[in-house]
Chains A and B, each alone.
Chain A
Amino acid sequence: MSNYSEESILNFLGPYKGNRSAVLRSLQLVQELLGYVPDSALDIIAKNSNVSRAEVYGVFTFYSDFRSTPPAKAVVKVCVAEACQASGSASLISELHDKGYDIHKGNIKDDIQMEQTFCLGNCALGPAAMVNGAPIGRATCAKIFASTSAVTA
């Protein structure tokens, strides 16, 4: 995942050369390519988009999707918003906590990372979760770990 060169990123961002409005899109592309946005990529994007590094850094830190370190093999998003609160997300979150996952911190353990999210749009079948983009309705610890084990195995 960390095997990249400035040249390969620049090639990847080629279509956006000189495009000042492509900073967000460029960050998204780098994260799709590498799984995260390494610090050096901020300079590359700044150069390619013809904006300052500070502007790129500002965009990078504004959006919660971006990560500065590589993600775990399985990234679990757990909804903490109202509809899932009404459907018992608090007890799910505390069970996950007992298993060593603090969704508010997003720590990695055994190739699994659990993160909080505000709404996955599955509000009638809460608690809602998502494992590497695959949705889980009426989520339980058992359902979540069955799904992560399929990814981490």
Chain B
Amino acid sequence: MTKVFVSMDSAALSMGANEVAAAISEHAAKAGHDVTIVRNGSRGMLWLEPLVEVETEAGRVGYANVSADQIPELLASGFLSGSSHDSCLGLVEELDFLKNQTRITFARVGVTDPLSLADYEAHGGLKGLRNAIAMTPANIVNEVTESGLRGRGGAGFPAGIKWNTVLNTESDQKYVCCNADEGDSGTFADRMLMEGDPFTLIEGMIIAGIAVGATEGLIYVRSEYPHAIDVLNQAIAIANENKLLGSSVLGSKFAFNLEVRVGAGSYVCGEETAMLESLEGKRGMVRAKPPIPALVGLFGKPTVINNVMTLSAVPMILADGASSYQSFGMDRSRGTQVFQLAGNILRGGIVELPFGITLGDLVNTVGGGTHSGRPIKTVQIGGPLGAYLGEESFDVPMGYESLAEAGGMLGHGGIVVFDDTVNMAKQARFAMEFCAEESCGKCTPCRIGSTRGVEVIDRIVAGEDQAKNLELLEDLCEVMTDGSLCAMGGLTPLPVRSALKLFPADFGIKVEVK
């Protein structure tokens, strides 16, 4: 029997992975080959999808960009024994792109069958949870604090400190909410983990529940991710059957129930308080803080809210210890970051590395520059609310503080590359337009400022009274930054201002930009 791996990740499906898997089944059976097809997650080398891997004695041999009509030819050439072919990559784990990474959160993604709990355990799963069950809640929280893990959703708040607040708040009911409303363009790590290794997230949430004394967990997933929702629901059912979830987690005194909730097409629901409102069945209107959700969260109860990547780092921290995770990274950015190379990039996908790699190394050395082959003009890091950076920032090491110093923001670690054909006035206008479209409307700077922002940018580009309109745009950006309730209005000026500062010529500016 030969094991063949064809990913069921959405990105692989989008390039025809289902058709490839079906063709392998059909033609292998016809030719009398005994083949088992495993639908794994994606290795994160998205430019190679559909990637087919064949298990051989030497390891898994990869074939890139396989199409369904190629299968008879591949079979005839003996690819089931790992034979050479134009599309053959050799041993997948020896490829530079993978070999040079430090995969902790993504250790199992692309390796295991996402819905096999046995496979999960065989690859180190549940070790963290078993350790946690034997520890006191305070010690679990302490371990997470010591690891230096910070919120991977964008804000970078220390996870252990948040957990400690919830732990120390008395309540009859507490919640753990996973923010899987991954709406930032250029980010897809949450989706890939949920599709490729859902038990890691589930394990992380159970540990969070045990640590803070919460028995109910909710995962808020955006509706644009139907496949992730499906995989999570299947994984939760398996976890329930195997007593990983329910009234007695792995036979312990701890109870934990988990449920998936689906969003309905609203970007602002990725903001944690808007997400809480949405989970309560309401319009996703941002709440004023304080009180923070750790004290007054879902249905007014103390609530841990963490991103998928944050919660998914937890099992490893509890399995291998805080110092192991803490040993990676730089300064106050500890552990690994799952970078996502996106947009106009030759080798797009997932790159998990300790903090500290430079931006230039990421997009050029790892990513191979643009897909179009043209020079890079700019990159946007951290989603639609992140700054545009130019080549002069390519030596900036990737970390929370170092990027902030360079005028940028790490956000969720998504990096969108643009070539020299991009017009930055259009990008700045889009940032305001997007804010106008997605603003919840609660605060004036965001709701009205974004619409006025589009108009002012249009006037600047049209060459109308530029000096005056530039001053007005600057003033508007300041009001939005300082006066908005949440990051939606508060950070929209970041891409606008950075685009203007770096590329004034794109705005047709004839006066000096301050």
**Residues in A lying within 8 Å of B, measured CB to CB:** 20-25, 27-28, 49, 55, 58-59, 62-66, 77, 79, 81-87, 117-126, 128, 130, 133-138
What residues of chain B lie closer than 8 Å to A28, measured between beta carbons? 262, 264
Complex CA distance for A126 and B185, rounded to whole angstroms:
11
Q: State whether A86 and B283 are in contact (beta carbons under 8 Å apart), knowing that A62-B266, A123-B348, A125-B49 are contacts in the complex.
A: no
Flag if A123 contacts B264 (CB, 8 Å).
no
* B307-352 interface (Cβ within 8 A of A): 340-345, 348-349
* B181-218 interface (Cβ within 8 A of A): 182-188, 191
What residues of chain A lie closer than 8 Å to B342, measured between beta carbons? 83, 86, 123-124, 126
Flag if A58 contacts B13 (CB, 8 Å).
no
Flag if B186 contacts A137 (CB, 8 Å).
no
| Contact of B343 (CB < 8 Å), options: A21, A22, A123, A135 | A123
Give the one of A66, A79, A118, A133 with max B CB within 10 A.
Answer: A118
Beyond A22-B281, A81-B434, A85-B427, 4 additional contacts (C-beta under 8 Å) are: A119-B185, A124-B188, A124-B345, A128-B14
What residues of chain A lie closer than 8 Å to B10, measured between beta carbons? 120-122, 135
Flag if A121 contacts B187 (CB, 8 Å).
yes
Q: Residues of B within 8 Å of A, CB-based: how many?
A: 59
Chain B proximity of A146: nearest CB distance (Å): 11
| Contact of A59 (CB < 8 Å), options: B185, B261, B281, B348 | B281
Flag if B384 contacts A81 (CB, 8 Å).
yes
Chain A proximity of B277: nearest CB distance (Å): 10
Across the interface, name the chain A residue whose C-beta is closest to B268.
A62
Across the interface, name the chain A residue whose C-beta is closest to B44.
A124
Flag if B185 contacts A123 (CB, 8 Å).
yes
What residues of chain B lie closer than 8 Å to A55, measured between beta carbons? 282
Complex CA distance for A63 and B183, rounded to whole angstroms:
14
Flag if B282 contacts A59 (CB, 8 Å).
yes
Flag if A63 contacts B11 (CB, 8 Å).
no
Flag if A87 contacts B280 (CB, 8 Å).
no
Chain B proximity of A47: nearest CB distance (Å): 15
Flag if B343 contacts A119 (CB, 8 Å).
no
Complex CA distance for A45 and B26, rounded to whole angstroms:
48
The 26 sampled A-B contact pairs (Cβ below 8 Å) are A20-B281, A21-B279, A21-B281, A21-B299, A24-B278, A28-B262, A62-B266, A64-B265, A64-B266, A65-B223, A77-B224, A82-B186, A87-B344, A117-B224, A118-B384, A118-B434, A119-B183, A122-B10, A123-B188, A123-B416, A124-B342, A125-B14, A125-B49, A125-B348, A135-B10, A137-B14
Flag if A83 contacts B343 (CB, 8 Å).
yes
Flag if B417 contacts A121 (CB, 8 Å).
no
What residues of chain B lie closer than 8 Å to A81, measured between beta carbons? 185, 384, 434
Flag if B187 contacts A123 (CB, 8 Å).
yes
Is the C-beta of B503 less than 8 angstroms from some C-beta in chain A? no
Across the interface, name the chain B residue whose C-beta is closest to A20.
B281
Flag if A64 contacts B280 (CB, 8 Å).
no
| Contact of A125 (CB < 8 Å), options: B46, B183, B264 | B46
Complex CA distance for A125 and B261, rounded to whole angstroms:
27
Is the C-beta of B226 less than 8 angstroms from some C-beta in chain A? yes
Is the C-beta of B53 less than 8 angstroms from some C-beta in chain A? no
Chain B proximity of A71: nearest CB distance (Å): 14
Flag if B14 contacts A124 (CB, 8 Å).
no
Chain B proximity of A50: nearest CB distance (Å): 12
What residues of chain B lie closer than 8 Å to A21, measured between beta carbons? 279-282, 299
Complex CA distance for A86 and B384, rounded to whole angstroms:
13
Flag if B265 contacts A63 (CB, 8 Å).
yes
Complex CA distance for A70 and B72, rounded to whole angstroms:
43
Flag if B348 contacts A25 (CB, 8 Å).
no
Chain A proximity of B180: nearest CB distance (Å): 11
* B207-260 interface (Cβ within 8 A of A): 223-227
Chain B proximity of A150: nearest CB distance (Å): 12
Complex CA distance for A59 and B263, rounded to whole angstroms:
12
Flag if B186 contacts A123 (CB, 8 Å).
yes
Chain A proximity of B364: nearest CB distance (Å): 16
Complex CA distance for A79 and B224, rounded to whole angstroms:
11
Q: State whether A82 and B262 are in contact (beta carbons under 8 Å apart), knowing that A87-B343, A121-B188 are contacts in the complex.
A: no
Q: State whether A83 and B416 are in contact (beta carbons under 8 Å apart), knowing that A123-B188, A123-B342 are contacts in the complex.
A: yes
Flag if B266 contacts A63 (CB, 8 Å).
yes
Across the interface, name the chain A residue whose C-beta is closest to B418.
A86
Across the interface, name the chain B residue whose C-beta is closest to A26.
B281
What residues of chain B lie closer than 8 Å to A77, measured between beta carbons? 224
Complex CA distance for A128 and B341, rounded to whole angstroms:
15
Chain A proximity of B168: nearest CB distance (Å): 27
Is the C-beta of B380 less than 8 angstroms from some C-beta in chain A? yes
Is the C-beta of B267 less than 8 angstroms from some C-beta in chain A? yes
Chain A proximity of B202: nearest CB distance (Å): 20
Q: State whether A59 and B283 are in contact (beta carbons under 8 Å apart), knowing that A82-B416, A134-B13 are contacts in the complex.
A: yes
What residues of chain A lie closer than 8 Å to B340, measured between beta carbons? 123-124
What residues of chain A lie closer than 8 Å to B182, measured between beta carbons? 121
What residues of chain B lie closer than 8 Å to A83, measured between beta carbons? 185-186, 342-343, 414, 416
Complex CA distance for A129 and B358, rounded to whole angstroms:
32
Flag if A85 contacts B430 (CB, 8 Å).
yes
Is the C-beta of B284 less than 8 angstroms from some C-beta in chain A? yes
What residues of chain B lie closer than 8 Å to A122, measured between beta carbons? 10-11, 14, 188
Is the C-beta of B371 less than 8 angstroms from some C-beta in chain A? yes
What residues of chain A lie closer than 8 Å to B281, measured between beta carbons? 20-25, 49, 59
